[in-house]
Amino acid sequence: MRKSLTILLIPAIALGGCTLFKGRQAAPDEFAVARNAPLIIPPDYTLTPPAPGTAATTPQDAQTQAIEALFGGPAPRPTSERTLLEEAGRESAALGARSVAGDPDTTVVDMGQTTRAIIAAPEADTEVASAQVP
């Protein structure tokens, strides 16, 4: 009996934590919040109107300026990346290739079995690779 009472009291005291010994504390009053001072425009805030005859900033120019301010404009590509893109034929790629990839008129060759056979081929110690394709 004493052992079962101890087994029940230890978890109850552990779950209760220190609140059993401190007593009840007053909860914070959520309505006693101080208000911040309203925002004001500083007195030295001066903007000069654009000069007549100058080009106005278009939204596209503003967006370009914001992107350049945030990201610093396009970063130069490393030589290795430029070489890889040139060797891959970046200039000869068809424009809009991504938009016609899912087109039903696009001819797609299924090389699933061949690719799986090449990937599943066992490793060999020779420099010549070989795979049995069904």
CA 82 to chain CA centroid, Å, is 25
* Per-chain mean pLDDT for the chain: 77
pLDDT at 80: 93
Which residue stretches of the chain have pLDDT < 70? 1, 17-24, 45, 57, 59, 108-109, 134
pLDDT at 83: 92
Break the chain into its structural domains and give their ranges. Answer: 1-120
